[in-house]
Amino acid sequence: MLSQPDSALSNAAYADDVIDLMYKLMEYRNQEIRHRLEKVGRAVSMLHRDVLLLIYHFAKVAQGDVLEIGPYIGGSTIAAAFGVRESGGAKKIISVEAGGRLKHFRIPSRNIFIDLKKNLRRFGVSESVTLINGYSFEGTTISAIRQMLGHGEVGLFTFDADNDVRRDLDCYGDLFADGCWVVIDDYCGPAAKATPLRAQVDELVSAGRLVPFGYYGWGTWVGQWRV
C-alpha cells in the first residue's frame, strides 16, 4: 500500500495521479521510445526498461532541471536527455559520477567516467549533459552543482548510487521544486544497500517530504518531493 499523501492533496486526486502514471507507462510501452530505450538499456544500463521510460517521461514533463547522482556508464542519463530533448525546453541535466571500475556481469567498465562520456556521445546527447566527476558529498561537487542550479530549480532528481539517499536529499533538497519528480533505485531487492535506503525513504514519506507514486522495475521507488 502507498502511504497517505500530503493532506492538501485529496486522496482521490492522488489516486488519479498514481493511476495516470501507470497508464502513461503503458502507453510508452507501445510507442517507438520503448525500442529506443530498450537499445539503451541493453547497451549501457542496469535499470529496468520501465524505469528508463519513467525517467524519460519525468524529464520530458518536469518543470525544471535534472539532477542525477550515479549514472554509471550513462543509461539513465541518456533516458533523461531524450526526455529533455523531446520536451522542447532548455532544461539543464547535471550528472554526478564518482568513477572507478566495475566488473558487472553484463556491462563491465574499466573506466566508468571515460565510458560514460563515450556513451553519451554514441547516443547523441553529450552536448545536453553536464558531467561532474566526483562523489555527490564532496565539497567541490556541491559547489559546482550550486553554481549551476538555484533554489527550487530541479524538476527531476534521480539517485542510483549508494545506500545514503538521505545525505544527498539533505544536501540538495533546497534546490528541488515543490512536486519535483524523484527516482530512487534499490528501494526493494536483494542488494545490501536496499535495507538502509528503504528505511530512509520510508522515514521521509512519513515526514511528508516524499510522496510515493509506486515501485517499478526491479525495486525502484518513484514519487515526488514536497517542499
What is the spatial distance between Cα 151 and Cα 191, in angstroms, rounded to a whole number? 33
Q: Please, which of residues 151-170 interact with ligand SAM by CB under 6 A? A: 160-162
184-223 burial, b if ≥16 CB within 10 A, otherwise e? bbbbebeeebbeebbebbeebbeeebbbbbeebbbbbbbb
What is the spatial distance between Cα 167 and Cα 172, in angstroms, rounded to a whole number? 9
Q: Please, which of residues 54-73 interact with ligand SAM by CB under 6 A? A: 69-72
Q: Please, which of residues 80-99 interact with ligand SAM by CB under 6 A? A: 96-98
Residue 112 binds ligand SAM, judged by CB under 6 A: yes
Which residue in the set 25, 28, 34, 45 belongs to the binding site for ligand SAM (CB under 6 A)?
A: 45
Which residue in the set 46, 62, 184, 210 belongs to the binding site for ligand SAM (CB under 6 A)?
A: 46
Least separation in angstroms between CB 201 and ligand SAM: 16
What is the spatial distance between Cα 204 and Cα 215, in angstroms, rounded to a whole number? 16
What is the spatial distance between Cα 189 and Cα 219, in angstroms, rounded to a whole number? 6
Residue 76 binds ligand SAM, judged by CB under 6 A: yes
Task: Write out the DSSP string of 32-80.
Answer: HHHHHHHHHHHHH--S-HHHHHHHHHHHHH-SSEEEEE--TTSHHHHHH
Q: In a 3-state reduction of DSSP, which class is residue 108?
A: coil
H helix count then E strand count, the chain: 8, 7
Strand partners, 222: 183, 214
Interface map 121-140 toward ligand SAM (x if CB under 6 A): --------------xxx---
Residue 47 binds ligand SAM, judged by CB under 6 A: yes
Which residue in the set 75, 83, 212, 219 belongs to the binding site for ligand SAM (CB under 6 A)?
A: 75
CB 91 within 8 A of CB 68: no
Residue 172 binds ligand SAM, judged by CB under 6 A: no
Name the residue nearer to ligand SAM (CB basis): 5 or 71. 71
Residue 177 binds ligand SAM, judged by CB under 6 A: no
Size of the site for ligand SAM (CB under 6 A): 20
Name the residue nearer to ligand SAM (CB basis): 5 or 221. 221
- The residues binding ligand SAM (CB under 6 A) are 45-47, 69-72, 75-76, 96-98, 100, 112, 135-137, 160-162
